[in-house]
Structure 1
Amino acid sequence: MTTLTFPAPAKLNLFLHVVGRRQDGYHLLQTVFRLLDFSDELSFTLRDDGLVNLVTPVDGIPEDQDLCVRAAKLLRSRSGTTMGVDIALKKRIPMGGGLGGGSSDAATTLMALNQLWNLNWDKAKLLELGLQLGADVPVFIFGQNAFAEGIGEKLSAVQLPAAWYLVLIPPVHVSTAEIFSNKELTRNTIPIKIPPFSIWQGHNDLEQVVCSLYPEVSRRLKWLKQLENTTIAAMSGSGA
């Protein structure tokens, strides 16, 4: 029985600007993604009966809504393969904390099954499929630190200096959809150009809305900003 095991890394948004909104409702963004050495772990065991089975369901998430399962079924459908898979997930990245855990799991599933099922799809094809699962999925398929534009699909590699990050995970689950639909969200930040730019010149447009709705996030940000030798304290994505 063939089994493959891969990490699914977390990410930070070093800044996140909302620069507009498309007619279909999707927001136009600019952000820098930094991939971390903190990850979930996924194991994939080949099945020959075509079934997709999540061995380790996540509490509170129906299996048909789990991003690993959705990614596997989408790839199975688009590729026409008759193969299936058992998926085992060791969940370490907190959900709803702005670290991209679900998106990373989906991306890792696509890349692992591309190998396990011998599909031999190129990265461009996987990136296109990943975007259908979520705006953060492509960067994990891209596989390196990146400047992202559009709805997250326009990616350019960036070189970032080595750094340590202290990441606090507030005990709340922030709904990304709730934040992006909030009428108080800034949607007209002036776009920046690459290159050159500084990662410290940016901010997170979601931060003000999240802090107003989730005091736990606001309190932790204030605590971080009071620490000595802190270069910058900010919110990643919609919550960490």
Structure 2
Amino acid sequence: MVVQSFIVDLNKPLVFQVGHLGEAYEEWVHQPIVSKEGPKFFGSDFWEFLTRTVWWAIPVIWLPVACFFIFQSVQMGHTLPQVALMVAGGIIVWTLLEYSLHRFLFHIKTSSYWGNTFHYLIHGCHHKHPMDGLRLVFPPAATAILCFPFWNLVKLLSTPSTTPALFGGGLLGYVIYDCTHYYLHHGQPSQEVPRQLKKYHLNHHFRIQDKGFGITSSLWDKVFGTLPPSKVTEKSR
């Protein structure tokens, strides 16, 4: 156990405090505070506003964009069944990206001031305050920025006429992911599949945080061997 010499004041903006935790940050950020009221990030109201997003903004903003790109491939001569396959392929690619980002970026180990600060902004805040409903989905401005490298990646790996539908499918996968993630924290599923998925995800938050990186499914956890041990999963039921 690392001795925590710096004490975070939860009544003050957190973002520029957490870096001072150094090596103690990893332990601190994985001790969740289960409260629906989120912390203050910045002293500036403008920057604070940019960190807060209602969940329904994600489908409202990005579903029309996804449909626009998908329709581009239809206009370029592809049939609806072909476009449907491209969209499905884009969704599958997104699920792998979702898993990879969660495992290798969102759970990166850090102890430096700026490393801690960066990690807290992108994911640490979610583990520290997992029920903060306004910081569960990705801010649209940040998503728009990340769309550029994703578009270029898809463009590099596909043809000009298939790129839009594949990109639109990936964007659709992202919308499904963010809405699912919000529901797993704040919804009360009655059906077996979403109920088990909720338990699976909360198990990642509260019991074994270095396993179970899938959000929309456990597929890639099974493929890459990061499925939580069955005994731990059973305890979360």
TM-score (norm 1): 0.21
- More strand, by proportion: 1
TM-score (norm 2): 0.22
Larger radius of gyration: 2
